[in-house]
Amino acid sequence: MLTWIISGISVALVVACSGDEPDDSASDEPDDAETTCSSFVQSLSDCGVITGARLAGCEDDAPALPCAAACVANAGCEQLEATYCYGVFNSFASCLDDCQAGMLSPGFVCSDGSRIPAGWRCDGASDCPNGEDEDCPEGTFTCDGGLSIPAGWQCDGVGDCPDGDDELDCSGRTLTCDDGSSLPASKECDGALDCAGGEDELDCVKLTCP
Residues at the site binding Ca ion, with contacts judged by CB under 5 A:
120, 123, 125, 127, 133, 153, 156, 158, 160, 166, 187, 190, 192, 194, 200
Give min distance, CB of 15 to Ca ion, in A.
14
Nearer to Ca ion, 66 or 152 (CB): 152
Q: Whole-number minimum distance, CB 118 to Ca ion, in Å?
A: 8
For Ca ion, which is the closer residue by CB, 81 or 156? 156
CB of 137 to Ca ion, least distance (A): 12
User: Which CB atom, from 81 or from 133, has the smaller least distance to Ca ion?
Assistant: 133
Considering the complex, what minimum distance in angstroms separates the CB of residue 47 from Ca ion?
Answer: 26
DSSP string, 98-134: HHHHTS----EE-TTS-EE-GGGTTSSS--STT-GGG
> Alpha helix (H) ranges present in the chain?
2-17, 37-46, 66-74, 77-86, 91-101
CB nearer Ca ion, residue 32 or residue 123: 123
Between the alpha carbon of residue 67 and those of residues 52, 92, 153, the distances in Å are: 23, 11, 29
| Smaller CB separation from Ca ion, 73 or 158 | 158
The CA angle 209-32-8, to the nearest 5 degrees, is: 35
Least Cβ distance, residue 181 to Ca ion (angstroms): 12
Contacts for 3 with CB less than 8 Å, ≥ 6 apart: none
